Each structure stands twice: as structure tokens, then as C-alpha cells.
Copies of this chain bind each other. A is one copy, B any other.
Amino acid sequence: MYSIAIHGGAGTLPRALMTSSQESAYRAGLAAALDAGYAVLDLGGTSLDAVTAAVRMLEDDPLFNAGRGAVLTHEGTVELDASIMDGRTLAAGAVAGVRHVRNPVDLARAVMEHSPHVMLIGAGAEEFALASGMALVPNDHFLTDTRKAQLGRVLAGDARPANELSALGTVGAVARDRAGNLAAATSTGGMTGKRHGRVGDTPIIGAGTYADNAVCAVSATGHGEYFIRAAVAHDICARVAYSGLTLAAAADAVVLDRLQKMGGEGGIIAIDAQGGVVTSFNSEGMFRGARTSGGTREISIYRD
């Protein structure tokens, strides 16, 4: 079975505040990314290419907190983080604090494939982007009026749910291809009003992203500080590998029990070695979608 799952963040609006036109727009964005990733798998492509394609589309969609439409720092700029991992080889790439790279997931992948390193940060990451032939874009490529207004409200001390949701925004994808190889990728703008230089779990291999063909692939979204402290992505894989739990049981143990007790809000998407998709979240909702060669195709926001 080949399959893909994506998420667009755990920071959904409370159901009562989500208008039907907003919901339609989010669903359309998720569907486009899901189908783009699935098409790669369906045509015999790799899981790495599938997660890259899906995350790239979510980065380009201004609705989601990654790439264009990312939330703003305290200073009103955008600082982006991303990571990717190849479950076949355990190769990984990550970037943090980049401000001029249109698709951070592409840069994370370039770090993985074309450098001896796993993680590059800040200006050094952008120097590597240029050396890799990527064109840089001005920081205002990423800015949207919605995020500017959100930052204004946050800086004014308004902590209503419509603003808080942006603390939990991230995008990500996990996939298993026809050859049985797993991959995971995650990308984000972080938290609205974040301090310059703050890095959450997204670019941390083992926290926001992990993939190991023998076990599972995981992409996380939520309050990053807690996800780092709990090493969420690796811990889920470890519980499968060492405790013999199913992926669903391992994910729930970490997200609904351990994280919940720590106060860490958010969720994960994951895929097991056979292509089975699992989602788990302790937030009110999580933008997500899954599609498998078995014929399943689902887009969801809240609990059903």
C-alpha cells in the first residue's frame, strides 16, 4: 500500500467561530496538497518527492503558517524553519531562521542531499541556498495582511482564540511509496510575535520530524517547546520499536497522555511501515488529510 497524510497545523479556529467559507478554503488547500503528494506516489515516485511536493504547496498557500502566509515575529518579519527525513537511509536535513527562501522544505532537502550537514541556520543557511542555485526572495514575499493584523492584535495583548490558533500552526506530510520507503517533512513560521531567533520543534529531527523505514514516519504540529522536551516524533517511533505498541497506540500515548500532562497542545500525523495512516491530537482540531492506494481520501479539521 502506498499512502500519504498531511497536516496544516493544530491551531484551528474553535468550531463555533469557523465560517463555512473559511472551512471550504482550508479544505481546498489541504485537498490540493494531498492530491499533489498522492499523484507523486501514484506515478511511482518516491515518498521523499511526495512529502516535498505536498509541503511545498502548503508553504505557497497563504492560509497556512509556513512559507507565504507564515506568522510574524515580534518585529513583524518572517523567520522560517523546516526539516525532512528519509526513512530509507535516515538521512535528514533541516533549516531554521531563514528569511529569504521561498520554500524552506526545498532548502532542508538540499541540505540533506547536497551538504555533509543535517542542520543549517540563519544567514549560513541562506548562503548555502545561494550556493545551491536557489533564488532568494524579499522577506515581504511571505507577508500577508491577515498575519499583520494578527500580530497587531497579539502585540496589543489580545489573546482570543482567533489569535492563539496561530501559535500551533505548522504544515507537514508523511508518506510511504510503492517501494515501501517512508519519509516525513515539516515546515513552519513558528509562533505569532515570537522572539527573533526562537526555534520550535519543526526543524528538530526527533521532535517535529522523524522517519525510519523499519518503524514509522512522523510529522508534528503544536506548541513546539513541549514537543522538543518530549522528543515527540522520535518517542512515538521508539514506543513502536521497543514497546511493541501499534503506531496508533504509541501516538496516543505520547500526544494524549505524555504531552497532555506536560501541557503541550497539538498533534501528529504518522504512517507505519505498512502504509497505515495515524493521526492524534489533543487540540480542538487539526487540519489534516490522508489518501491511500486502498481508496481512502479524507480531509478533516475537527474530531468527527
Chain A residues at the B interface, C-beta cutoff of 8 Å: 85, 90-92, 96-97, 115-125, 127-128, 194-200, 204-207, 210, 224-225, 228-231, 234-235, 238-239, 241-243, 262
* A206: B residues at CB distance < 8 A: 204, 206-207, 228, 231, 234
- B contact residues around A96 at 8 Å (CB): 96, 121, 199
* Cβ distance A44 to chain B, nearest Cβ, rounded Å: 27
A120 contact from B125, B199, B241, B262, Cβ within 8 A = B199
Residue of B nearest to A131 (CB): B195
Chain B residue numbers with a CB within 8 Å of A205 are 204, 207, 228-229, 231
Contact (Cβ within 8 A) B242 A238? yes
In the complex, residue of chain B having the shortest beta-carbon distance to the beta carbon of A92: B229
**Whole-angstrom distance from the CB of A100 to the nearest CB of chain B?**
13
Cβ–Cβ < 8 Å partners of A210 in chain B: 231
Q: How far is the CA of A198 from the CA of B125 in the complex (A)?
A: 8
| Cβ–Cβ contact A124 & B228, under 8 A | no
Contacting pair A123 B242 (CB below 8 A): no
Question: When chains A and B are docked, how far (Å) is the Cα of A97 from the Cα of B228?
Answer: 19
CA distance A262 to B225 in the complex (A): 29
A225 to chain B: which residues have CB within 8 Å?
A: 116-118
Known: A97-B122, A206-B206. Contact between A231 and B228, CB under 8 A?
no
A116 to B235, CA, bound (A): 23
Inside 8 A of A194's CB, which chain B residues have their CB?
Answer: 117
Give the CA-CA distance A287 to B241 in the complex, in Å. Answer: 32
Nearest B residue to A238 via CB reads B238
The residues of B that contact A123 with a CB separation of less than 8 Å are: 122, 196-197
Nearest-neighbour CB distance to chain B for A124, whole angstroms, equals: 2
The 4 closest A-B pairs by CB, nearest first: A124-B197, A238-B238, A242-B242, A124-B196
Contact B197 A228 (CB under 8 A): no
What are 16 contact pairs spanning A and B, CB under 8 A?
A: A90-B230, A96-B96, A97-B124, A118-B224, A119-B228, A120-B195, A123-B197, A124-B196, A124-B197, A127-B197, A204-B206, A206-B234, A231-B231, A231-B234, A234-B238, A238-B238
Distance between Cα atoms of A235 and B231 in the complex (Å): 10
In the bound complex, how far is the Cα of B74 from the Cα of A127, in angstroms?
13
Do residues B231 and A124 form an inter-chain contact, with CB atoms below 8 A? no
State whether B196 touches A228 (Cβ < 8 A).
no
Q: Cβ of A118: which chain B residues have Cβ within 8 Å of it? A: 199-200, 224-225, 228-229
With A231-B234, A234-B231, A238-B234: A122-B204 Cβ-Cβ less than 8 Å: no
